[in-house]
Chain A
Amino acid sequence: MAGIEVVEEEGQEARDQGTEDDVIRRSLAGDQDAFESLVRRHSPRVFNIVGSFFRRRDMVEDIAQEVFAKAYFSLSSFTLGRSFEAWVARITVNACYDHLRAQRRRIEYQMPRSSEQEDEWFELQMLDVARDRHASDERQRDAAEVAERLLAKLTAEDRVVLVLIDRDGFSIKEVSEMTGWGESKIKVRAFRARRQLRGAMKRLLLNAERKQGKLKAGKSE
Protein backbone atom coordinates (compact mmCIF):
# COMPACT_ATOMS: atom_id res chain seq x y z
CA MET A 1 0.00 0.00 0.00
CA ALA A 2 2.81 2.36 0.95
CA GLY A 3 4.40 1.77 -2.46
CA ILE A 4 1.17 2.72 -4.24
CA GLU A 5 0.91 5.89 -2.13
CA VAL A 6 4.47 6.91 -3.05
CA VAL A 7 3.77 6.34 -6.76
CA GLU A 8 0.53 8.35 -6.46
CA GLU A 9 2.37 11.18 -4.69
CA GLU A 10 5.08 11.23 -7.36
CA GLY A 11 2.40 11.25 -10.07
CA GLN A 12 0.66 14.17 -8.35
CA GLU A 13 3.98 16.07 -8.10
CA ALA A 14 4.64 15.52 -11.81
CA ARG A 15 1.11 16.74 -12.67
CA ASP A 16 1.60 19.82 -10.43
CA GLN A 17 4.95 20.52 -12.09
CA GLY A 18 3.36 20.21 -15.53
CA THR A 19 0.56 22.59 -14.55
CA GLU A 20 3.06 25.06 -13.10
CA ASP A 21 5.18 24.94 -16.26
CA ASP A 22 2.01 25.70 -18.29
CA VAL A 23 1.26 28.70 -16.08
CA ILE A 24 4.86 29.92 -16.51
CA ARG A 25 4.62 29.51 -20.31
CA ARG A 26 1.41 31.57 -20.33
CA SER A 27 3.07 34.21 -18.11
CA LEU A 28 6.01 34.36 -20.52
CA ALA A 29 3.52 34.96 -23.34
CA GLY A 30 2.32 38.06 -21.45
CA ASP A 31 -0.69 36.59 -19.62
CA GLN A 32 -0.76 38.75 -16.43
CA ASP A 33 -3.51 36.66 -14.82
CA ALA A 34 -1.36 33.54 -15.16
CA PHE A 35 1.53 35.33 -13.43
CA GLU A 36 -0.80 36.54 -10.70
CA SER A 37 -1.84 32.95 -10.02
CA LEU A 38 1.87 32.09 -9.61
CA VAL A 39 2.24 34.99 -7.19
CA ARG A 40 -0.80 33.83 -5.20
CA ARG A 41 0.58 30.29 -4.99
CA HIS A 42 4.07 31.28 -3.86
CA SER A 43 3.47 34.45 -1.86
CA PRO A 44 3.15 32.71 1.56
CA ARG A 45 6.70 31.34 1.27
CA VAL A 46 8.08 34.68 0.03
CA PHE A 47 6.32 36.61 2.80
CA ASN A 48 7.56 34.12 5.42
CA ILE A 49 11.18 34.49 4.30
CA VAL A 50 11.05 38.29 4.14
CA GLY A 51 9.18 38.40 7.47
CA SER A 52 12.05 36.50 9.11
CA PHE A 53 14.39 39.41 8.37
CA PHE A 54 12.20 42.49 8.60
CA ARG A 55 9.67 43.55 11.18
CA ARG A 56 7.72 46.37 9.53
CA ARG A 57 4.72 45.26 7.46
CA ASP A 58 5.22 47.96 4.79
CA MET A 59 8.81 46.86 4.34
CA VAL A 60 7.87 43.18 4.09
CA GLU A 61 5.26 44.01 1.41
CA ASP A 62 7.64 46.26 -0.51
CA ILE A 63 10.39 43.63 -0.63
CA ALA A 64 7.89 40.90 -1.60
CA GLN A 65 6.70 43.13 -4.47
CA GLU A 66 10.29 43.66 -5.55
CA VAL A 67 10.84 39.88 -5.51
CA PHE A 68 7.84 39.15 -7.73
CA ALA A 69 8.64 42.04 -10.09
CA LYS A 70 12.18 40.69 -10.47
CA ALA A 71 10.80 37.19 -10.99
CA TYR A 72 8.47 38.51 -13.71
CA PHE A 73 11.22 40.33 -15.60
CA SER A 74 13.66 37.39 -15.29
CA LEU A 75 11.10 34.68 -16.07
CA SER A 76 12.75 33.98 -19.42
CA SER A 77 15.88 32.80 -17.55
CA PHE A 78 13.88 30.21 -15.56
CA THR A 79 14.41 26.62 -16.70
CA LEU A 80 11.07 24.88 -17.19
CA GLY A 81 10.80 21.59 -15.33
CA ARG A 82 12.73 22.86 -12.32
CA SER A 83 11.23 24.06 -9.03
CA PHE A 84 9.77 27.54 -9.41
CA GLU A 85 9.38 27.73 -5.62
CA ALA A 86 13.13 27.20 -5.09
CA TRP A 87 13.90 29.77 -7.82
CA VAL A 88 11.68 32.42 -6.19
CA ALA A 89 13.08 31.58 -2.73
CA ARG A 90 16.55 32.32 -4.06
CA ILE A 91 15.47 35.67 -5.49
CA THR A 92 13.81 36.42 -2.12
CA VAL A 93 16.89 35.65 -0.04
CA ASN A 94 19.06 37.74 -2.39
CA ALA A 95 16.64 40.66 -2.12
CA CYS A 96 16.68 40.39 1.70
CA TYR A 97 20.47 40.27 1.64
CA ASP A 98 20.64 43.47 -0.47
CA HIS A 99 18.23 45.26 1.89
CA LEU A 100 20.12 44.09 4.99
CA ARG A 101 23.35 45.48 3.53
CA ALA A 102 21.71 48.81 2.77
CA GLN A 103 20.05 48.90 6.20
CA ARG A 104 23.34 48.17 7.95
CA ARG A 105 24.99 51.07 6.14
CA ARG A 106 22.05 53.32 7.09
CA ILE A 107 22.18 52.30 10.77
CA GLU A 108 25.93 52.97 10.90
CA TYR A 109 25.43 56.36 9.27
CA GLN A 110 22.28 57.51 11.08
CA MET A 111 22.80 56.17 14.60
CA PRO A 112 25.62 57.98 16.35
CA ARG A 113 27.15 56.06 19.23
CA SER A 114 24.77 56.49 22.13
CA SER A 115 26.06 57.03 25.61
CA GLU A 116 26.89 54.05 27.78
CA GLN A 117 23.88 54.78 30.02
CA GLU A 118 21.54 54.79 27.06
CA ASP A 119 23.03 51.51 25.84
CA GLU A 120 22.47 49.94 29.21
CA TRP A 121 18.89 51.17 29.42
CA PHE A 122 18.10 49.90 25.94
CA GLU A 123 19.65 46.53 26.63
CA LEU A 124 17.73 46.09 29.86
CA GLN A 125 14.54 46.91 28.00
CA MET A 126 15.27 44.17 25.51
CA LEU A 127 16.12 41.70 28.22
CA ASP A 128 12.81 42.39 29.99
CA VAL A 129 10.76 42.06 26.83
CA ALA A 130 12.58 38.87 25.88
CA ARG A 131 11.52 37.47 29.26
CA ASP A 132 7.98 38.84 29.11
CA ARG A 133 5.93 37.64 26.14
CA HIS A 134 3.03 39.94 27.08
CA ALA A 135 5.00 43.20 26.98
CA SER A 136 3.20 46.28 25.61
CA ASP A 137 3.50 47.27 21.95
CA GLU A 138 5.66 50.26 22.81
CA ARG A 139 8.10 48.13 24.81
CA GLN A 140 8.12 45.52 22.04
CA ARG A 141 9.07 48.28 19.58
CA ASP A 142 11.85 49.57 21.86
CA ALA A 143 13.16 46.06 22.34
CA ALA A 144 12.98 45.39 18.61
CA GLU A 145 15.04 48.52 18.03
CA VAL A 146 17.72 47.24 20.40
CA ALA A 147 17.64 43.81 18.80
CA GLU A 148 18.00 45.46 15.39
CA ARG A 149 20.99 47.46 16.61
CA LEU A 150 22.62 44.35 18.04
CA LEU A 151 22.01 42.37 14.86
CA ALA A 152 23.28 45.26 12.73
CA LYS A 153 26.72 44.47 14.16
CA LEU A 154 26.65 41.25 12.12
CA THR A 155 27.49 41.42 8.43
CA ALA A 156 24.54 40.90 6.08
CA GLU A 157 25.95 37.51 5.03
CA ASP A 158 26.32 36.36 8.66
CA ARG A 159 22.81 37.54 9.49
CA VAL A 160 21.22 35.78 6.52
CA VAL A 161 22.84 32.50 7.54
CA LEU A 162 22.01 32.89 11.24
CA VAL A 163 18.34 33.72 10.64
CA LEU A 164 17.78 30.95 8.11
CA ILE A 165 19.51 28.25 10.17
CA ASP A 166 18.92 29.21 13.81
CA ARG A 167 15.57 30.96 13.57
CA ASP A 168 13.85 29.28 10.64
CA GLY A 169 15.45 25.85 11.06
CA PHE A 170 16.73 25.38 7.49
CA SER A 171 19.57 22.90 7.00
CA ILE A 172 23.00 24.00 5.73
CA LYS A 173 22.23 22.31 2.40
CA GLU A 174 18.92 24.18 2.07
CA VAL A 175 20.59 27.51 2.90
CA SER A 176 23.25 26.74 0.31
CA GLU A 177 20.53 26.23 -2.31
CA MET A 178 18.72 29.40 -1.27
CA THR A 179 21.78 31.63 -1.25
CA GLY A 180 23.99 30.01 -3.86
CA TRP A 181 26.89 30.06 -1.34
CA GLY A 182 29.03 26.97 -0.67
CA GLU A 183 28.24 24.79 2.35
CA SER A 184 31.66 25.38 3.92
CA LYS A 185 31.20 29.16 3.65
CA ILE A 186 27.80 28.82 5.35
CA LYS A 187 29.27 26.76 8.20
CA VAL A 188 32.01 29.34 8.76
CA ARG A 189 29.49 32.21 8.65
CA ALA A 190 27.11 30.43 11.06
CA PHE A 191 29.94 29.73 13.49
CA ARG A 192 31.19 33.31 13.39
CA ALA A 193 27.70 34.85 13.66
CA ARG A 194 26.74 32.66 16.63
CA ARG A 195 29.96 33.55 18.42
CA GLN A 196 29.43 37.27 17.80
CA LEU A 197 25.79 37.20 18.89
CA ARG A 198 26.69 35.17 21.98
CA GLY A 199 29.33 37.80 22.87
CA ALA A 200 26.79 40.61 22.52
CA MET A 201 24.26 38.73 24.63
CA LYS A 202 26.88 37.96 27.29
CA ARG A 203 27.66 41.67 27.65
CA LEU A 204 23.94 42.38 27.89
CA LEU A 205 23.42 39.75 30.58
CA LEU A 206 26.45 40.93 32.58
CA ASN A 207 25.15 44.51 32.49
CA ALA A 208 21.75 43.37 33.73
CA GLU A 209 23.27 41.26 36.50
CA ARG A 210 25.54 44.11 37.58
CA LYS A 211 22.59 46.46 37.74
CA GLN A 212 20.51 43.94 39.71
CA GLY A 213 23.44 43.44 42.11
CA LYS A 214 23.64 47.21 42.69
CA LEU A 215 19.89 47.36 43.34
CA LYS A 216 20.09 44.53 45.88
CA ALA A 217 23.06 46.15 47.62
CA GLY A 218 21.17 49.48 47.74
CA LYS A 219 18.14 47.82 49.34
CA SER A 220 20.15 45.96 52.00
CA GLU A 221 21.86 49.24 53.03
Chain B
Amino acid sequence: MSEQTGTINCRETRRRFSALADLSRTDLSGTDRAATERHLQTCERCAREHRLFKLGRAALDLAASSEAVRPDNDFYAALRARIARGPAAENLPPVANESWAAAVFLTARQLIPAMAVLLLLIIGATLISKSAPAETDRAELRPRERVLFNQLYDYPEPTPDDVLETLVAVEEKENGK
Protein backbone atom coordinates (compact mmCIF):
# COMPACT_ATOMS: atom_id res chain seq x y z
CA MET B 1 0.00 0.00 0.00
CA SER B 2 1.34 3.39 -0.84
CA GLU B 3 1.30 6.02 1.87
CA GLN B 4 1.01 8.69 -0.84
CA THR B 5 -1.74 8.15 -3.39
CA GLY B 6 -2.78 10.95 -5.73
CA THR B 7 -2.56 14.33 -4.06
CA ILE B 8 -3.22 13.44 -0.40
CA ASN B 9 -1.84 10.75 1.87
CA CYS B 10 -3.62 8.04 3.89
CA ARG B 11 -3.48 9.94 7.18
CA GLU B 12 -5.07 13.05 5.69
CA THR B 13 -7.71 10.92 3.96
CA ARG B 14 -8.73 9.26 7.25
CA ARG B 15 -8.90 12.63 8.98
CA ARG B 16 -11.44 13.70 6.38
CA PHE B 17 -13.84 10.74 6.86
CA SER B 18 -16.11 12.68 9.16
CA ALA B 19 -16.31 15.73 6.88
CA LEU B 20 -16.79 13.46 3.88
CA ALA B 21 -19.84 11.82 5.48
CA ASP B 22 -21.59 15.14 6.04
CA LEU B 23 -22.32 17.04 2.82
CA SER B 24 -23.51 20.08 4.78
CA ARG B 25 -20.06 20.64 6.31
CA THR B 26 -18.16 23.45 4.70
CA ASP B 27 -14.70 22.66 6.11
CA LEU B 28 -14.01 20.37 3.13
CA SER B 29 -13.83 22.15 -0.21
CA GLY B 30 -15.04 20.54 -3.43
CA THR B 31 -11.45 20.00 -4.55
CA ASP B 32 -10.48 18.38 -1.24
CA ARG B 33 -13.57 16.18 -1.36
CA ALA B 34 -12.74 15.06 -4.90
CA ALA B 35 -9.10 14.37 -3.92
CA THR B 36 -10.25 12.31 -0.92
CA GLU B 37 -12.69 10.31 -3.04
CA ARG B 38 -9.96 9.74 -5.64
CA HIS B 39 -7.65 8.46 -2.93
CA LEU B 40 -10.35 6.08 -1.68
CA GLN B 41 -10.71 4.64 -5.18
CA THR B 42 -7.02 3.84 -5.42
CA CYS B 43 -6.08 2.88 -1.83
CA GLU B 44 -7.63 -0.40 -0.70
CA ARG B 45 -6.73 0.02 2.97
CA CYS B 46 -8.25 3.48 3.24
CA ALA B 47 -11.34 2.27 1.36
CA ARG B 48 -11.74 -0.52 3.95
CA GLU B 49 -11.23 1.92 6.84
CA HIS B 50 -13.85 4.16 5.24
CA ARG B 51 -16.33 1.25 5.06
CA LEU B 52 -15.72 0.55 8.78
CA PHE B 53 -16.19 4.23 9.59
CA LYS B 54 -19.47 4.41 7.67
CA LEU B 55 -20.71 1.25 9.36
CA GLY B 56 -19.91 2.65 12.80
CA ARG B 57 -21.70 5.86 11.92
CA ALA B 58 -24.68 3.81 10.68
CA ALA B 59 -24.83 2.01 14.05
CA LEU B 60 -24.92 5.37 15.87
CA ASP B 61 -27.66 6.63 13.54
CA LEU B 62 -29.72 3.44 13.78
CA ALA B 63 -29.69 3.57 17.58
CA ALA B 64 -30.82 7.21 17.55
CA SER B 65 -34.26 8.64 16.89
CA SER B 66 -34.89 8.54 13.13
CA GLU B 67 -37.26 11.52 13.16
CA ALA B 68 -37.10 14.83 14.98
CA VAL B 69 -39.39 14.42 18.00
CA ARG B 70 -41.15 17.63 19.03
CA PRO B 71 -43.24 18.19 22.15
CA ASP B 72 -47.02 18.22 21.73
CA ASN B 73 -49.71 19.44 24.18
CA ASP B 74 -49.72 16.05 25.96
CA PHE B 75 -46.05 16.58 26.73
CA TYR B 76 -46.70 19.87 28.53
CA ALA B 77 -49.68 18.39 30.41
CA ALA B 78 -47.57 15.41 31.55
CA LEU B 79 -44.74 17.75 32.58
CA ARG B 80 -47.12 19.91 34.66
CA ALA B 81 -48.42 16.74 36.37
CA ARG B 82 -44.87 15.58 37.05
CA ILE B 83 -43.93 18.94 38.56
CA ALA B 84 -47.10 18.86 40.70
CA ARG B 85 -45.97 15.51 42.17
CA GLY B 86 -42.99 17.32 43.69
CA PRO B 87 -39.21 16.75 43.82
CA ALA B 88 -39.48 13.49 45.77
CA ALA B 89 -40.96 11.78 42.69
CA GLU B 90 -37.82 12.78 40.75
CA ASN B 91 -35.54 11.38 43.46
CA LEU B 92 -34.40 14.91 44.22
CA PRO B 93 -33.93 16.28 47.73
CA PRO B 94 -36.96 18.27 48.97
CA VAL B 95 -36.79 22.03 48.70
CA ALA B 96 -35.48 23.34 52.04
CA ASN B 97 -38.07 25.24 54.04
CA GLU B 98 -36.56 25.36 57.53
CA SER B 99 -35.33 28.29 59.59
CA TRP B 100 -31.62 29.20 59.40
CA ALA B 101 -30.95 27.62 62.80
CA ALA B 102 -32.52 24.35 61.73
CA ALA B 103 -30.61 24.57 58.47
CA VAL B 104 -27.28 25.07 60.31
CA PHE B 105 -28.06 22.14 62.62
CA LEU B 106 -28.99 19.97 59.62
CA THR B 107 -25.85 21.01 57.77
CA ALA B 108 -23.65 20.26 60.78
CA ARG B 109 -25.30 16.85 61.19
CA GLN B 110 -24.76 16.09 57.50
CA LEU B 111 -21.18 17.30 57.69
CA ILE B 112 -20.06 14.58 60.11
CA PRO B 113 -20.27 11.65 57.66
CA ALA B 114 -19.03 13.94 54.85
CA MET B 115 -15.95 14.85 56.90
CA ALA B 116 -15.32 11.17 57.66
CA VAL B 117 -15.50 10.33 53.93
CA LEU B 118 -13.23 13.29 53.11
CA LEU B 119 -10.67 12.10 55.67
CA LEU B 120 -10.70 8.61 54.18
CA LEU B 121 -10.33 10.09 50.69
CA ILE B 122 -7.32 12.16 51.76
CA ILE B 123 -5.66 9.11 53.32
CA GLY B 124 -6.47 7.03 50.20
CA ALA B 125 -5.21 9.72 47.83
CA THR B 126 -1.99 10.06 49.79
CA LEU B 127 -1.39 6.31 49.62
CA ILE B 128 -2.24 6.15 45.90
CA SER B 129 -0.10 9.16 44.97
CA LYS B 130 2.91 7.35 46.39
CA SER B 131 2.45 4.39 44.08
CA ALA B 132 0.56 5.58 40.98
CA PRO B 133 1.63 7.96 38.16
CA ALA B 134 0.28 11.50 38.34
CA GLU B 135 -1.95 11.47 35.25
CA THR B 136 -4.77 8.97 35.70
CA ASP B 137 -6.16 9.36 32.18
CA ARG B 138 -2.82 8.72 30.68
CA ALA B 139 -2.15 5.79 32.99
CA GLU B 140 -5.27 4.13 31.57
CA LEU B 141 -3.54 3.78 28.20
CA ARG B 142 -1.05 1.08 27.32
CA PRO B 143 2.35 2.23 25.88
CA ARG B 144 1.37 1.45 22.27
CA GLU B 145 -1.93 3.26 22.74
CA ARG B 146 -0.09 6.28 24.11
CA VAL B 147 2.05 6.44 20.97
CA LEU B 148 -0.96 6.08 18.66
CA PHE B 149 -3.02 8.45 20.75
CA ASN B 150 -0.31 11.05 20.54
CA GLN B 151 -0.36 10.85 16.74
CA LEU B 152 -4.05 11.67 16.77
CA TYR B 153 -4.20 14.40 19.36
CA ASP B 154 -0.61 15.41 20.19
CA TYR B 155 -1.49 14.64 23.81
CA PRO B 156 -0.54 12.97 26.12
CA GLU B 157 3.04 12.88 24.91
CA PRO B 158 4.52 9.37 24.89
CA THR B 159 7.68 8.80 26.86
CA PRO B 160 10.85 7.51 25.09
CA ASP B 161 10.11 4.16 26.80
CA ASP B 162 6.64 4.05 25.20
CA VAL B 163 8.17 4.62 21.75
CA LEU B 164 10.86 1.99 22.34
CA GLU B 165 8.35 -0.55 23.60
CA THR B 166 6.16 0.06 20.55
CA LEU B 167 9.10 -0.31 18.15
CA VAL B 168 10.10 -3.58 19.83
CA ALA B 169 6.52 -4.86 19.65
CA VAL B 170 6.26 -3.98 15.94
CA GLU B 171 9.61 -5.59 15.19
CA GLU B 172 8.64 -8.74 17.07
CA LYS B 173 5.36 -8.90 15.20
CA GLU B 174 7.14 -8.51 11.86
CA ASN B 175 9.60 -11.26 12.78
CA GLY B 176 6.68 -13.50 13.66
CA LYS B 177 7.58 -13.80 17.34
Contact = CB atoms under 8 A, between A and B. Distances in A.
The bracket for how many chain B residues form the interface is 35 or more
Nearest to B49: A198
A55 B64 contact: yes
B11 interface: no
A144 B67 CA distance: 14
Contact of B61 (A57, A64, A76, A167): A167
B54 interface: yes
B60 A144 contact: no
Contacts of B54: 130
Mostly, the B contact residues are helix
B33 to A, nearest CB: 17
B153 interface: yes
Contacts of B12: none
Nearest to B152: A191
Interface string A131-158: 0000000001001101110110000000
Given A55-B65, A163-B64, A187 B155 contact: yes
A64 B60 contact: no
Nearest to A48: B68
A57 B149 CA distance: 37
Contacts of B22: 169
A162 interface: yes
Nearest to B62: A147
A148 B79 contact: no
B115 interface: no
Interface in B98-147: 135, 137-138, 140-141, 145
A13 B109 CA distance: 44
A73 interface: yes
16 contacts: A32-B80, A36-B80, A39-B76, A47-B70, A53-B64, A55-B62, A60-B69, A69-B79, A69-B82, A126-B62, A130-B62, A162-B60, A169-B18, A188-B137, A197-B59, A201-B56
Interface of A: 32, 35-36, 39-40, 43-44, 47-48, 50-57, 60-61, 64-66, 68-70, 72-74, 76, 126-127, 129-130, 140, 143-144, 146-148, 150-151, 162-163, 166-167, 169, 182, 184-185, 187-188, 191, 194, 197-198, 201-202, 204-205
Interface of B: 18, 22, 25, 48, 51-66, 68-71, 75-76, 78-80, 82-83, 87, 90, 92, 95, 135, 137-138, 140-141, 145, 149, 152-153, 155-156
Q: Would you list the 5 A-B pairs with minimal beta carbon distance, nearest first?
A: A130-B58, A51-B65, A147-B62, A147-B59, A73-B87
